[in-house]
Structure 1
Amino acid sequence: MRYIKSVKTISFSLCLALFSQVTLAADDKTATTLDAKASFEQYIVKLKQEAISRGFEQTLIDESFANVVFHQRAVKADRNQPETVETLDTYLPKRLPDWKIKRARAKYKEHEALLIKVAAEYGVQPRFIVALWGLETNFGKIMGNYNVISALSTMAYEGRREAFFKKQLWAALQILKEGHIDSANMKGSWAGAMGQNQFMPTSFVGYAVDGDGDGKKDIWGNQADVFASMANYLKKEGWNDQLTWGRQVKLPSGFDTSLAIPNNTGGRKNWLKAWAKTEKTLAQWQALGVRRSDGTNLPKVDIKAALVFPDGAKGRAYLAYNNYKSLMHWNLSYYFVSSVGHLSDHIKFPPIQ
């Protein structure tokens, strides 16, 4: 009995100690949270002052920041982005399940008249517009529900990329100033990507267009504006509607893999330099033994292409045409571009061989 009593006594003492530690930890956490909140509020004051110095009117600033809040979830999402190691063989089936391919074809048919009109004006094949739309927001269904001013203010305050997110914030205020959307309905991702095409605010300023002539560039709810803005982006980045994006190819045994663009070029500018150094005509690639994925000869057309290995030299190989560069400007990711390309191929009737 004495042993049991001793254990009970010790347990009670431990409970008191643990309770004290938990209470102190909770108090520390509360204090930290309050300090962070106070600091964020002070940061917002400075942002408003800078916005004034940049020529934005006080009324616009007050309205835009009226309900601004700190989004801890956005900071967590930024710091804990997934680092799962995948290959295209595992990635593409998840990004392009059968239901998405079927929906992409259905959406193409549903909006065919508008897509053809946009294609004629901007010189971008409709299937690529639909593919981008489907992969960015599941055809407008998943656009993000963060208030963009709050999201950008949070990410600027977080500090790792303050200059970048402040630049986005000023662009967002410009969009509000021009009256394309109001601050309450300016929703997007935790990083501030907006609308059905997930434009960052600077991309909106640079590429968004009024597709139906109503005086607004509404990439959230106006399909004409969404499609035209996507097409305008690609057009401004050099899109050629006489070309496709690229094609998967087979390489001969012993092929010199140094002829491909290195995977670790370090940024868009260096990647483009590597492209310029390595691109060849299809005839030259044919002479080197490169063939279509089914083993047949490459097309006999006078165009250039670069060779890319999204998963390294032991993975898939692609000949990338100039339109590939436009898609890489949209998102500097071999996996993203491959997804867009393959989905666009599935949309085409009949599918590309």
Structure 2
Amino acid sequence: MNSFNRESITLWITWVSRVCAIVCLVSSFAHYALAVEPHRYSDGRPAASLRLDTDDAGIMIRHGEGPSDCDIYGAREAIIFEHKGEYFLHYDGAGPDGWLACLAVSKNLSDWELLGPVLDLGTNGSDDSASAASPWVIHDGSQWHMFYLGTPNASLPPDRCPAFPYLTLKATSSDPRGPWTKQYDIVPFRTKPDTFCSATASPGHILKRGSKYLMFFSGSTPYPDVKRTLGIARTDDLNRPWKVDPYPIVPLDQQIENSSLYYEDATGVWYLFTNHIGINDERQEFTDAVWVYWTSDLDKWDINDKAVVLDGSNCKWSSECVGMPSVLKCGDRLAVFYDAPGGDSMDHMYRDIGLAWLDLPLTRPDSSQVGR
């Protein structure tokens, strides 16, 4: 073999080696990028790179099984609390007249007694004439207080899906089962133009800290460019107006709504569970996942401290769409209730209530727990 051929072969080997190295480098970078950014949305909205996966137990309550067709068109937005060994779960039942807060009770989280609506629609012209749903309940030591979503607007029958504005209304009762008395004269807070809650200001998780109550409520901007986030409202009297913080806990581009909090005593960390609104390539928005944010200070939240809890990759029965979560400690596990339409549907209607579990104590995920 002459020297020319030897040099040509050497150059060719060197060139191939360099190409292979570049390919490996690009491949490694792509793998890293996918790990950090597991899901890119068509409009560029932020994604969650970490995961704190639940163990999904499947459907707990199926729509259409409530009394008097109260949830014939869907059951969603499950909100759970416990009182004296009994579990109370309010959910939005889509019935013949609209979406109403319905109640289910259980002693074991498996067998549920469906009791039907606990609220009715308001009269024409009232703030809850089209829907009275999604109630958050708290006891002040003497009476029960309910803060629920009301709106005078809804889509056409049979769906009657609530439409903006979403407002926070109030009711009270001496018993967690009701009956509930609406208090139209008490206005907790309202939407406010040119703010993060200009189109919606709907209720969320309520907790007491010292002498004050904090509510992590949902706020959004109007159509057509809707953006969503959570804010904090505060009061020291549940029968008086609340003061809304001027800024949300995270920016509007996070596209989250609804809240449910859990405090981990072992670490002193708060975990806020919320549902994320995703968007597909056809620019259709839908509830695509349950996310969790965490902090040691309820007044300070970092948008990087978040993870996916439940989505189509770990939900056993709904591959695309997973809706609003609420959580409750049950022994050494955290119950995560949610809603979903099942299969590859992204529909607002015909949803069922599911249950998933997280082991306690909760620990913050790290870079080893990256997204799909």
Range into which the TM-score falls when normalised by the shorter chain: under 0.3
Structure 1 length as normaliser, TM-score?
A: 0.21
**Structure with the bigger percentage of helix:** 1
Which has more radius of gyration?
Answer: 1
Structure 2 length as normaliser, TM-score?
A: 0.20
**Structure with the bigger percentage of strand:** 2
